Amino acid sequence: MESILTINNLTKKFGYLTAVKDLSFTINKGNVYGILGPNGSGKSTTLGIVLNVVNKTEGNFHWFDGNVSTHDALKKVGAIIERPNFYPYMTAQQNLKLVCRIKGVDQSKIDEKLEVVGLLDRKDHKFRTYSLGMKQRLAIASALLNDPEILILDEPTNGLDPQGIHQIRQIIKDIAQNGTTILLASHLLDEVEKVCSHVVVLRKGEKLYSGRVDEMISSHGFFELKAEKHDELISLLERHNSFGTIKVEDHIITAFLNEPMDAQTFNTLMFDKGIVLSHLVKRKESLEEQFLQLTDNN
């Protein structure tokens, strides 16, 4: 697969604070990557480093095949890492014309990009009349003017109302479908689950998980159980290799599977051991449960 960005053992220290610690991952062409983590986990710092606005302490990164300088590579990158900064008294079209001049891009692209973000009919309206969601969509149009190979977004839906969030997420999906690679930082599990194909989970600057979103949530799931022989059932589960974490809450036992097993097989197994189950439900873990397990264990 064609690599867009490769990060190797990246570390950033601010005095005594280590914001990013020994971070490595690769972004391949044509996917939507999410850097997921709570505030202060190192997401924005990582983006700042690869965009040359924050100096790294250790490690390295390279864009594309590594044979172009970061300065030249960034000409093929579109990024929004701060709140949109346009002139309030100018129209959307006038603001984008200015961006075209700065980037050395043909102004013929403006209408096309406004169409992508659903603002073509508002191109002659002044920026100050725009809602927060519209301002964010204009920023995305601005970042797309140079037809970037990768679009980088830092918390793209922060502060937006539900309608604004839905619009931005749909735009991200549409851009990705047209072949642009996307890297977005988010603290919202819901966002990553709905928008991203791949995820890098960060906590206090360290990588906890890197891989496909569907693989992260394709664990073997868990059983919710009840039985008269409550303690005997727990003891049996704890000794059985097929099970990992066992939790008990309100007399319901939750047993996480280490390997595939269907409910019928499990029920037969328990019956053979003399345990009759009064409650048996098999469930799949959500990304949220996976994330909580990851962050709890570290």
pLDDT digits (tens, 9 = 90+) for 147-189: 999 999 999 999 999 999 999 999 999 999 999 999 999 988 8
d(C-alpha 33, C-alpha 83), whole Å: 21
For 242, other C-beta atoms within 10 Å of its C-beta total: 16
Residues 6 and 146: their CA atoms lie apart, in Å, by: 22
User: Could you tell me where in the chain the CATH 3.40.50.300 domains are found?
Assistant: 3-215
Please provide the size of the chain in residues: 298
pLDDT of residue 285: 66
- Provide CATH 3.30.70 ranges for the chain: 222-297
- CATH architecture classification, 222-297: 2-Layer Sandwich (3.30)
User: Residues 80-100: pLDDT tens digits?
Assistant: 987 778 999 999 999 999 999
User: Radius of gyration over alpha carbons of the chain, in Å?
Assistant: 24
Asked if 43 and 202 touch (Cβ cutoff 8 Å), the reply is yes
Per DSSP (E only), the strands in 75-149 are: 77-80
Q: Which residues pair with 3 in a beta bridge?
A: 28
Q: Which CATH class is domain 3-215?
A: alpha beta
Question: Amino acid letter at 113?
Answer: K
Q: Which residues of the chain have pLDDT under 50?
A: 298
pLDDT value of position 218: 55
Report the percentage of the chain scoring pLDDT > 90: 74
User: Can you give the pLDDT at residue 250?
Assistant: 84
